[in-house]
Homo-oligomer: A and B are copies of this chain.
Amino acid sequence: MQQYSRDNMAELLRSHDINPTHQRIEIAYALFSRQQHLSADQIMAIVNDRHSETSKATVYNTLNLFLEKKLIREVIVDPNKVFYDPNTQLHHHFYNVTSGELTDIDAEGVTICGLPQLPEGVITEGVDIIVRIRPGATAQAQEQLA
């Protein structure tokens, strides 16, 4: 997609069946303009940068609404907080356990072989690969995978 403006956001929201309100546009803009993984409190800080205008409840309501409408995705890697990811394409993550930094891994070209059959009566919601990394000497990711 091109540039992200607040106007695009309104369209984006509408196209996902979400009523575009001021607060929702601001929150969507915070996530989509910087293509980053943000936590709820980071989003609240961004949105209320100068004059506080959006309440905690609205931030959470809105993020959960976005999730439900599949506008964004949640990434669960840190026990303390959820990250919200504006990228809903299939992709995976590097998670730097020291810094808390989260980086995308394009799913293009990544394959998993040898997963067992799913249990009966159950469907896949998604498959996440999380490569936990930390600062240190040389290494190859491949080593870990028998």
What is the interface of chain A, defined by CB distance below 8 A to chain B?
74, 76-79, 82, 90, 94, 96-97, 103, 105-119, 121-146
Contact A123 B108 (CB under 8 A): no
A-B contacts, 7 of them at CB < 8 A, read A118-B131, A118-B140, A123-B133, A124-B143, A127-B144, A128-B128, A128-B132
Contact A139 B112 (CB under 8 A): no
> How many angstroms between the C-alpha atoms of A81 and B130 in the bound complex?
18
- A113 with B115, Cβ < 8 A, contacts A78-B76, A127-B130 known: no
List the number of copies, as a whole number: 2
* Smallest beta-carbon distance A127→chain B, Å: 5
Specify which chain B residues have a CB less than 8 angstroms from the CB of A134 in the assembled complex: 122-123, 125
Contact A115 B127 (CB under 8 A): no
Contact A131 B115 (CB under 8 A): yes
* Smallest beta-carbon distance A42→chain B, Å: 16
> How many angstroms between the C-alpha atoms of A74 and B77 in the bound complex?
11
Contact B124 A127 (CB under 8 A): no
Specify which chain B residues have a CB less than 8 angstroms from the CB of A117 in the assembled complex: 141
> How many angstroms between the C-alpha atoms of A137 and B124 in the bound complex?
10
- A118 with B146, Cβ < 8 A, contacts A113-B111, A123-B133, A123-B134 known: no
> How many angstroms between the C-alpha atoms of A130 and B107 in the bound complex?
15
Q: Which one of A78, A125, A137 has the highest number of Cβ atoms from chain B below 10 Å of its Cβ?
A: A125
